[in-house]
Each structure stands twice: as structure tokens, then as C-alpha cells.
Amino acid sequence: MYYSDYLKLGDVLNAQELESDKQGKHAHDEMLFIVIHQSYELWFKQILFEMKSVYDILAKENINDNSPELQIAVNRMHRVTEILRILVDKINILETMSAQDFLDFRDMLRPASGFQSMQFKVLETLLGLKVEERHGQEYFTSQLRSEDAKQIYTLAKERTLLELVNNWLERMPFFEEKYWGSDDFCEQYRNAYSSSLSEMEMQNLKAFDELFMSNEPVENRKLSAKARRAGLFIMLYRDYPILQNPYRIINSLLDIDELLATWRWRHMNMVHRMIGGRAGTGGSTGKGYLREAAMKHYVFQEFAELTSFLVERRKFPAISDELAKKLGFENG
């Protein structure tokens, strides 16, 4: 095996064809623009490769929480967050190109646009961003080839990672009466939470009752009541061995959401710096679209909002000896 043959460097390093050269109007910075975006797509491919493996683990009907599978999922999600950090920083390199340098070839690209990145759309859809929840739905598939649009809408009918995580959380067995007595965990925790609130915060108690004390669906909420209770329980008692990987999974989801949002904000500011108030090459409103998408396209915000209902450790409901053994991997 030869290095360049293994990596197909002949194909990779000859895949940069400057449109400005084709038109006899050489623009030096177009090479940087192409290489940056090609490298983004390569990293998107790796992110999808990792997240699809996590998806497959959580899609299993019977997940053994004591098996290596959850640790594998945690490690791969951590890898994804590190890749996303790199993608955010790559904007620094792109910003070494001035607005005038970009204008030298920008109009030659129309109507090509980041809106046409299929891998990014697949990633957002796989995570759980629904079509009807997107800002600027008129732009979502307007610039895609028909076969690509069809693929996205087909994928949108499949279960999302958020739905799989919801189903996995619903399996938590630690709310059974034998562990808590007549006053179940939620009742005990409600008392602790209520005592932690100031007068100005008492409206939070109404939200607590709606989200945790009732099993009725809550408008605009994707997590079920069972999953919300499990998520809160994991955040509270995450120091117990059996809950450490579940906590890391939730934390990784929050990292992914935060880093994607950070990338969107950096992208928005870069676009404003490069083209000001002009429309995007794909027909969007440019900065305006990117700003609204950055604010709206969170997938796992319900996990972040659980922190509204945390209390200090000394107020946690006491864990019974039987439950402590379960949370410590003991079966006796």
C-alpha cells in the first residue's frame, strides 16, 4: 500500500477547480474558499458516521446499560463535539479573506449556496430538527435538486436521535414505589424545589407541576413526562456509577447543540462582515435568515431547561439503601 494511493490524494488534491479561472478572471482567494468548504464536508461525513453509530446503539429495543455500548456512544459523541470545535475555529481562516476578495468571485457561484449542503441537512434532521420547526422553510429545499429534496423529506419521516433518547430515558426503573415509599420521588422533590424558590420564582412551581407531576402532553415539548423525570433524576444523582454515562450522553447532546449554535452565530457574523445586508447566493435574506435560524434551530434545549429545576445537593430526596445498591451496580 502506498500513502497517496490509500488516501486517494490524486482525486482529493485535484478536486479544486476555480470557477474564476474557467471564466478567465482569476481570483486568488477562491482556492481558500473551495478548500475550506470541501474540508467542512469531509468533517460532516465523519460526524454523520459517528452519529449514525450512536443512533444504531440507542435504536436497539434492549439496551444493556451495564454493557460497553453506552460508553462507546459517549466516546463517539465526545469525538463529534471535538470536531465541531474545529469547524467553529475554521471560520477564523475563512475570515482572512476580505470582503473585496470574496466579491471577486462571489457572483460566479450563483445559485450555489450552503443551503445545498445535503450532509448538514441530513445531520440536522437526524438529530431531531423537524421541517415544520425550521426558520425560513421556503428556503429549506428550494435550491436542492429534486432527488436531494426527496431524500431529506423521506429521512424526516424516520425516528430522530432525540426520539430515541426520549424512549431510552422512559425505561428508567428507579421511580418504583419500593424505592421511595408512599411519597414518590416527584412528590418529595417538589417539596424540596418549592422550598428553594424565592417569591419572585414561585411561577416556576406551576411549570414544575406541568412538566413533572402530570403525564399529559405539554404543547411544544418533545420529551415525554417520563423522559423529563428521568433526565432530571440523572442530572441530580449523576455521581452514582450507573448514571454517569447517561449524564454524559445528555451533556454531549447539549454540547452538540451549543457548538452548532456557536457555528451558526460565527457564520452569521462572517456573512455580515463579507456581504453586509446583501442577499445570500442561495436566495435567502443573508444575515437576517442566519440570525433567526441560529436562535431557533436548537434541538436539545429541553435538557438545558431542566437546570431551571435543580436544587442544591443537601436538599435532594434521600436515596434508600436498596436504590443506592442499584445505582452502584450492585444486585444484592
218-266, pLDDT tens digit by residue?
Answer: 988 999 999 999 999 999 999 999 999 999 999 999 999 999 999 999 9
Averaged pLDDT for residues 270-277: 82
pLDDT of res. 332:
43
113: pLDDT confidence band, cut at 50, 70 and 90? confident
> Nearest 5°: phi and psi at 255?
-60, -45
Give the C-alpha separation, 131 to 58, whole Å: 23
Domains (ranges, CATH) in the chain?
3-327 (1.20.58.480)
Give the C-alpha separation, 136 to 288, whole Å: 10
Q: Give, for 54, the enclosing helix (H) or strand (E).
A: helix 30-58
Averaged pLDDT for residues 146-175: 93
> Nearest 5°: phi and psi at 138?
-65, -20
Q: Give, for 255, the enclosing helix (H) or strand (E).
A: helix 241-275
Give the C-alpha separation, 171 to 227, whole Å: 8
Chain-wide mean pLDDT for the chain? 91
Give the C-alpha separation, 169 to 163, whole Å: 10
Averaged pLDDT for residues 55-84: 92
Q: Give, for 166, the enclosing helix (H) or strand (E).
A: helix 161-169
pLDDT beyond 60 at 281: no
